[in-house]
Structure 1
Amino acid sequence: MSRTEQEQANLDLVLGMFEHVLNPMDSGAVDRFVSPDYIQHSQLAPPGRDALKAFLDMIKAETPEAVHDVKRAFVDGDHVTVHYHVRRHEGDLGWAVIDIFRVQDGLIAEHWDVMQDVVEGGPNPNSVF
């Protein structure tokens, strides 16, 4: 797979945000990765970078054991897509999540997400991951 230098930088930025912001739920590290003009499309979080910080603080307080286990990530130009497994606590089946980020000027400028519950059983024997 061939990536441009810029695509690799965009992928590294987003994966770094998972490592330093989402997994530790560290709102203090947000400014290193997210643009001041951040556009939020998720229906779970209010818009804006400061609102993202408050949202992360709330999630950390409610579910301090949560993990974001990245399964795969793709980059195409200024867009990075990450497929991952969120588990809120021990024994939680969690959610399968796909995030799409748009990177501009070396920072995450925009975000969309889709989520589904991970369930046991069902008609399809294939994992969501």
Structure 2
Amino acid sequence: MDSTQSSKNKATVLKAFDTLFNLRDYSTAETFWSPGYVQHSAYIAQGRKGLFELTKGLPSSARYENALAVADGDFVILHGRFSGHGLPRNWIVADIVRLRDGVLVEHWDVIQDEVTEAESKSGLPMFGESFAVA
């Protein structure tokens, strides 16, 4: 697969995440996620329905921010932050998404609670260039 297609896949996944998690535009989000979407996350019920139900249950303050997106063929990996979700800590997440024909068909994730500067053994933030305000 050429770099042009990888770039298109990266842009598609970024747009899909913004549409679902920030804009909460479910009808448009349906065009990004396959009806047969496969979910490997321990935190999200199976399929597109499980993902959308999770999102509908989040407070309106919930947001997704992206710091990095890398594409290799049909796979896109995002490094992002989920905040305002009602839990005590922001989540720093590596999302791995597989696309087929420009549609999100499969997902895996690795999720960590974001630490404060005092808790960071490295002294560096987990996301971006500064620590989140607690």
Alignment TM-score, normalising by the size of structure 1: 0.86
**Relative to structure 1, is the Cα distance of residues 75 and 106 closer, same or farther in structure 2, using a 3 angstrom cutoff?**
same
Instruction: Structure 2: give runs of 5+ residues left out of the alignment.
Output: 128-134
Instruction: Structure 1: give runs of 5+ residues left out of the alignment.
Output: none
Per the alignment, residue 124 of structure 1 pairs with 122
Using the TM superposition, give the Cα deviation of residue 93 of structure 1 relative to its aligned residue in structure 2, in angstroms.
4.7
Match of 1:103 among 88, 99, 109: 99
Q: How does 1:49-128 map to 2 (within 5 A)?
A: 49-59=48-58, 63-88=59-84, 93-120=89-116, 121-122=118-119, 123-128=121-126
Report if aligned partners of 1:10, 1:103 keep a CA contact under 8 Å in 2: yes
Per the alignment, residue 13 of structure 2 pairs with 14
Question: Structure 2: how far apart are the matches of 1:28 and 1:45?
Answer: 20
Identity %: 33
Moved over 3 A (4+): none
Q: Residue 124 of structure 2 aligns to which amino acid in structure 1? A: N
Question: Structure 2: how far apart are the matches of 1:21 and 1:35?
Answer: 14
Alignment TM-score, normalising by the size of structure 2: 0.83
Per the alignment, residue 35 of structure 1 pairs with 34
Note the aligned Cα RMSD (angstroms).
Answer: 1.8
